[in-house]
């Protein structure tokens, strides 16, 4: 039995393989469609969620994280270890971190021997996933609670998230631009490129805009080359209902970079409600 179990919210975009390999417990952030609530990655897969999104984007919403979601995850993880590290998406983007902390008081009433530490990943999607994986790999190596927390915190200072949004139409939901500007940008076929890195302090920044997917992909890969060069790189390729294009992007990454590991995963619909389908993303960090 490991000393420490890992919990991560579903926005971390961890594949089933990763979750099973490292025994990570997922706290599913809910989404709603036409009044019905679905638990992300549990009741509904990302692909199924995007199919609903395409039917009626206006009815597709995020329901927000609650302490109950994390309480259930702590109960599950507590069966495997008496110490838990919970990794959440950036506090600048969600209330998941506070919900996870609130759940600690409730779970201690049931499992007073349990120790829970919550880590703000200061990032999102598969970049958050890498923070959780760093903790899980430290736990697998038999590290203590403090050492697992340290491993996760060190990773958040290294990992970078990039995304090419296929349409700006839905980005107004982030609150960063007015709806009329999003509609106008969509008509002009503007495709924004987004980034979250240690320098952005957990906030999504725009780093450019293009008129074609090809140029956008080239720009993302160019940014990645500037950051990692020929050093071994750990990479996750993400997509929102665009598996064929994601496979092509994965092929380019494999051919153009020295990959220590390379995964393909789906972009969480919790984020996709604001980016829409067709989004392609990269999460990566350079090996020391």
pLDDT in tens, 268-287: 999 888 888 999 999 999 99
Quote the DSSP letter at residue 24. Answer: P
With beta carbons less than 8 A apart as the criterion, state whether 26 and 10 touch: yes
pTM: 0.94
Please give the full DSSP string across 187-211, using - where no structure is assigned.
Answer: HTT-EEEEEE-GGGTT--EEEEEES
Averaged over 225-254, what is the pLDDT? Answer: 98
Banded model confidence at residue 185, pLDDT cuts 50, 70, 90: low
pLDDT in tens, 140-177: 999 999 999 999 999 999 999 999 998 776 565 566 55
Q: What CATH code would you report for 160-286?
A: 3.30.1180.10
Q: What fold does the segment set 4-29+64-156 form as a domain?
A: Rossmann fold (3.40.50)
Quote the tokens at residue 187: 């008509």
Q: In whole angstroms, give the CA distance from residue 209 to residue 165.
A: 9
Quote the DSSP letter at residue 129. Answer: H
pLDDT at 174: 62
Banded model confidence at residue 17, pLDDT cuts 50, 70, 90: very high
Cα–chain center distance at 174:
16
CA dihedral defined by 271, 277, 279, 280, rounded to 10 degrees?
Answer: 110
With CA atoms as reference, report the closest residue to 284 among 258, 247, 246, 248: 258
Residue given tokens 């809910």 in the structure block = 30
pLDDT in tens, 87-140: 999 999 999 999 999 999 999 999 999 999 999 999 999 999 999 999 999 999
Q: In whole angstroms, give the CA distance from residue 217 to residue 121.
A: 25
Is residue 183 predicted with pLDDT exceeding 70? Answer: no
With beta carbons less than 8 A apart as the criterion, state whether 257 and 250 touch: no
Quote the tokens at residue 87: 């990794």
pLDDT in tens, 197-220: 999 999 988 898 899 999 999 999
Give the start-to-end residue ranges of the domains of the chain.
Answer: 4-29+64-156, 160-286
Residue given tokens 């990773």 in the structure block = 155
Averaged over 189-200, what is the pLDDT? Answer: 90
Is residue 23 predicted with pLDDT exceeding 90? Answer: yes
Q: In whole angstroms, give the CA distance from residue 143 to residue 160.
A: 25
pLDDT in tens, 24-81: 999 999 999 999 999 998 899 999 999 999 999 889 998 889 999 999 999 999 999 9
pLDDT at 181: 46
């Amino acid at each position: 039995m490991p000393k420490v179990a890992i919990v991560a919210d579903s926005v971390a975009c961890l594949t089933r393989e990763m979750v099973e390999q490292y025994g990570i417990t997922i706290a599913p952030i809910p989404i709603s469609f036409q009044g019905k609530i679905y638990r992300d990655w549990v009741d509904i897969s990302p692909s199924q969620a995007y199919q609903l999104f395409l039917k009626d984007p206006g009815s597709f919403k995020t329901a927000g994280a609650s302490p109950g979601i994390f309480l259930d995850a702590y109960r599950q993880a507590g069966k495997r270890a008496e110490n838990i590290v919970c990794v959440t998406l950036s506090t600048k983007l969600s209330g998941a971190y506070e919900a996870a902390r609130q759940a600690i008081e409730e779970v201690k009433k049931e499992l007073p021997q349990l120790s829970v530490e919550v880590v703000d990943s200061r990032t999102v999607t598969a970049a958050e996933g890498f923070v959780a994986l760093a903790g899980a790999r430290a736990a697998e190596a038999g590290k203590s609670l403090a050492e697992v927390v340290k491993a996760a915190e060190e990773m958040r200072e290294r990992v970078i998230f990039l995304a090419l949004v296929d349409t700006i139409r839905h980005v107004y939901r982030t609150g960063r631009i007015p709806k009329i500007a999003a509609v106008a940008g969509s008509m002009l076929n503007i495709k924004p490129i987004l980034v979250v890195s240690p320098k952005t302090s957990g906030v999504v920044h725009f780093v450019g805009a293009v008129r074609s997917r090809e140029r956008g992909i080239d720009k993302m890969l160019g940014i990645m080359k500037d950051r990692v060069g020929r050093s071994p790189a750990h990479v996750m390729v993400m997509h929102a209902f665009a598996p064929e294009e994601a496979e092509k992007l994965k092929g380019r990454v494999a051919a153009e970079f020295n990959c220590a590991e390379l995964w393909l995963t789906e972009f969480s619909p919790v984020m996709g409600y604001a980016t829409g389908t067709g989004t392609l993303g990269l999460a990566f960090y350079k090996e020391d």
